[in-house]
Structure 1
């Protein structure tokens, strides 16, 4: 009979030590789970519930992250860069009410947007800080502080308060995450973990806040052992506690510092830099020294013969010589004379060490990757960067920052904006049209917004502007989107400003905005437009 061509021949395998030596061993289908491989034999982490991993270690990880941000320049710079890029100085909503879902018109949506945003600007940027319960910051500043807390400590917490004496009664109170803990520091259990009450469905339904920090010394000790329970929201859904963190696994109750994966690297780099700096300072101070010809044997003989008097006389003679000798001047230069048999020794100043720059660069690349930014941004080193690499890095980093901005806006900023809008609607400051749907039933549709902060910026302003014009001309984007992404501005506000500028232009002078997109595209290699067109 012919050979069966469908049968796959078996490949002989080695067994035992021979198999391991040849690299064919495998006691499990996945190498990642094989306990017999030398490189993995000591790597035996356990599988735990996410809260069992985070909650017992959260305080120490947070303390270390805070210390690094206080004292390590790289950590402080990285945190500031991300806060400035994601939140910036004027993080604000660009209202987009879902007029289709509400059954209203696009014209109403535009009018509603302008009215709501006008009220929000007056409220959020009030220099009297009336939106802050503590009257210390504007709303954008509070958002920036909250994002910094989230970045360093892993979570941002705020209370939505009601202060009757203020023109707008809705206020925000930022809360130190340290204050969120179990009453009387009780151990965690199924329905109370990390100071948060959990329902059977896994919903955070209430929060317990210590009334003063446990390490505070200037308050009554009774406040340090008093807790207040605050429900997550009112019965009709108004938020009372806003708690934002990155949820990475099911069942997670609290957040962990975003710096946690790189704390060790930051610490190592900081320690190495200190050692190098100390060595360089010592070398700079101690540039030269005088070597005595006396060795241990000679000193022993002097002590033995005269009970130490010979050695003391020798030292006195040397000190007297160096103290009284002014040296000899030759042509205005001083030549120092040495005591007989003494020699000059020079300190080698090879600092920093040859491998220091490479080590620091490798560590900073690891840190930058953990933070989601580029090495060039972290180190402020653009010496080896060209346009293409800078552009590629900006696109990658901006994608991550945009995702974090959206998550933070939806998880922290939007609930507060919705609470504020509820007050404005219910007290009549902002009126809904006759026959409009019930506000609470369509609360998210009325409050729908896109939050905008600093723009992406430009690597090459001319190329970026032309590319934006082409995207709009081809229908791939809108002027509103381009204004928000590139410069962080509201296109509607820009147009109002431009209208005023056009009106103020001298007669016969064109405003740059009046140039057509077609002409701009023609300058970029596109079809040239004739006057008849």
Structure 2
């Protein structure tokens, strides 16, 4: 019965619309008919990401650099991103050579690694050694490297061998702006936006714009030398078919302009309302209007002053000549002409919708930069401890990922170049000599780079969490890595502190702690001797 009723309704609807009563087969598909027309005018083309990058690269880079130079909140957010990724002191080397591949014992590998870490730290902290321009430490170069990545979406450097008077080493790092890579493309030469690729897509060289003797010219440089040592270090984050990067701020450029426009418009409206903050309201028209009325009356009825209007205006003007409205005298009561009203105005800007809208724009920008909104804006209003912790915990893996993709390749390239030179010159022993190192470069150069710890909203709660992890059997490496520390370095430092304290007649600061007021030498605290079975 119900089936026939439904068919009659369906048939009636079909006849009313002039269509057949047959219904199309139900389907599930993307982009169903858009009744509201929201997607009708949106017709993007599907292209290679490499083509999109090449078409927009120059303009996007110029706009981001301009924003960072002229918008304080963008510059501050980029600086915050640099500190989150690189930390205040840069990344710390933890050498981890593959001792099994190299045929070493673990003890020998540990001792060799500690020696390498100390020597590399001295090299990396000396600008005259590590920087081709002699200006910055390796950590400072990494800061500029990350900032360059924010601006261009890629970072570039040359690894030079340049002897210098007063320097022990010849290995140098020279950063250069990525826009010096040409934008040319030639499929015959395998040139794609300044990068030479082989038939498999492997990067084999670069074409760079440079200035020689006052003239611009281009030079071609190989990506690495015959021994595999990098000559050009180039990093970017993108799709597999890309050869160049684009700024991570590119999706937020429109939003940054909207935020600036919103702030400028709000400020302009507030200033206008501040300038015109007081008005005098009167039921009587102005003198010019009275004059017009008098002229009209003269033309129409021959009257010279209808109703004594001019006389009244003269009396009003005379009144205010002797009783001006003075806003600068404290406690003065101003008397007004009967019917006049003096009104003070307050600025109605920013309005109630300003902050919610501004915060939403700020959140979108912060997402592109890779920082929390609170860290980006300094606005912690209404943020709870749990929400702040969740935001940090959500963003920190993103920071760690960028740390591995962006600055670590620069640190690793500088480390490998220095290590090769240190072994080649005999300053660091290597079993089998320099030729053995060249054969085992990858195994010998393996390393971890420790960065700053994850920010904590409450140090006490974080310490308690570390204590719980230790009680559950987590390794010290896992626990301390979260604080940006190396467990072996911490053990060595504790040993030095304990030895120094004891040598100077002080208690060991790392001795096991006892409860307050309890003497650890109290014999009553000793464990009771085992009790035997009673005799008999």
TM-score bracket, shorter-length normalisation: 0.7 to 0.9
Distance of aligned partners of 1:504 and 1:419 in 2 relative to their CA distance in 1, 3 Å threshold: closer
Q: Is the partner of 1:430 in helix, strand or coil?
A: coil
5+ residue gaps, structure 2, are 1-9, 18-22, 299-304, 306-311, 516-524, 529-536
1:40-67 alpha-carbon deviations (Å, 9 max, x no partner): 2222111112221111111111122222
Note the C-alpha offset of 1:271.
1.5
Distance of aligned partners of 1:59 and 1:29 in 2 relative to their CA distance in 1, 3 Å threshold: farther
Note the C-alpha offset of 1:149.
1.0
Q: Which residue of 2 aligns with 1:97?
A: 97
Say whether 1:175 aligns with 2:179.
no
Distance of aligned partners of 1:319 and 1:135 in 2 relative to their CA distance in 1, 3 Å threshold: farther
Farther-moved stretch of structure 1 (107-116 vs 498-507): 498-507
Farther-moved stretch of structure 1 (439-448 vs 30-39): 30-39
Q: Equivalents in 2 of 1:161, 1:320: separation in Å? A: 87
Q: Equivalents in 1 of 2:225, 2:509: separation in Å? A: 52
1:369-424 alpha-carbon deviations (Å, 9 max, x no partner): 33333322222233333333333222211111111112224433212221121111
Q: Equivalents in 2 of 1:257, 1:475: separation in Å? A: 43
Farther-moved stretch of structure 1 (281-290 vs 437-446): 281-290
- Equivalences for residues 382-393 of structure 1 within 5 A: 382-393=380-391
TM-score normalised to the size of structure 1?
Answer: 0.80
Q: Equivalents in 1 of 2:115, 2:399: separation in Å? A: 30
Farther-moved stretch of structure 1 (347-356 vs 423-432): 347-356
Q: Which residue of 1 aligns with 2:302?
A: none
Distance of aligned partners of 1:34 and 1:496 in 2 relative to their CA distance in 1, 3 Å threshold: same
5+ residue gaps, structure 1, are 1-11, 19-23, 213-218, 521-529
Q: Is the partner of 1:455 in helix, strand or coil?
A: coil
Distance of aligned partners of 1:340 and 1:209 in 2 relative to their CA distance in 1, 3 Å threshold: farther
Q: Which residue of 2 aligns with 1:7?
A: none
Q: Does the aligned pair in 2 maintain the 1:280–1:352 contact within 8 Å?
A: yes
Note the C-alpha offset of 1:473.
4.6
Q: Which residue of 2 aligns with 1:499?
A: 495
Note the C-alpha offset of 1:358.
1.2
Say whether 1:143 aligns with 2:142.
yes
1:486-524 alpha-carbon deviations (Å, 9 max, x no partner): 1x23333333332232234368865453337xx89xxxx
Note the C-alpha offset of 1:15.
9.4
Q: Which residue of 1 aligns with 2:452?
A: 454
Q: Which residue of 1 aligns with 2:65?
A: 66
Q: Equivalents in 1 of 2:68, 2:16: separation in Å? A: 50
> Paired residue for 2:236, among 245, 250, 263?
245
Say whether 1:513 aligns with 2:516.
no
Report the count of equivalent residues. 488
TM-score normalised to the size of structure 2?
Answer: 0.79
Q: Does the aligned pair in 2 maintain the 1:328–1:337 contact within 8 Å?
A: no
Distance of aligned partners of 1:427 and 1:299 in 2 relative to their CA distance in 1, 3 Å threshold: farther
- Equivalences for residues 76-115 of structure 1 within 5 A: 76-88=75-87, 89-115=89-115
Say whether 1:438 aligns with 2:432.
no
Q: Is the partner of 1:208 in helix, strand or coil?
A: strand
1:224-260 alpha-carbon deviations (Å, 9 max, x no partner): x31222211112211111000002x232011010111
Note the C-alpha offset of 1:448.
0.6
Q: Which residue of 1 aligns with 2:151?
A: 152
Q: Equivalents in 2 of 1:337, 1:85: separation in Å? A: 63
